[in-house]
Amino acid sequence: PEWYSHKDCDEITPAGDTAAIVVDARTNEAAIRIFDSTTKERVGFVGIEEQGNVVIVPWRDGWYYFCTRSPRVAHVKK
């Protein structure tokens, strides 16, 4: 996977060939909120309750995520 270090308030739309994102919450009190780009509804969240873990989120084309603080996120291609 390709890892990215994001900044607070970054809005990221992964490439269309993304199968999953991986959020490294082991050492950072960051969060991401996942939204459907068509409806603008929140469809997922990885927050501080996951601190200490690495979280895999299955991905759908048409979603994007919004960063709080500076999460480290990988995009896993299909």
What are the C-alpha distances in Å from 13 to residues 10, 16, 26, 49?
A: 10, 9, 23, 24
Edge-first strand listing for the sheet containing 72-77: 2-5, 72-77, 18-24, 54-58
Name the amino acid, one letter, at 15: A
30: nearest Cα among 76, 68, 77, 74? 68
Domain layout of the chain by residue ranges: 2-77
Please state which CATH number belongs to domain 2-77: 2.60.120
Q: Tokens at residue 54, please? A: 């690495």
CA–CA separation, 45 vs 65, rounded Å? 9
Does this model's pTM top 0.85? yes
Q: Render pLDDT for 21-70 as a digit per residue (tens, 0 to 9).
A: 999 988 777 899 999 999 999 999 999 889 899 999 999 999 999 999 88
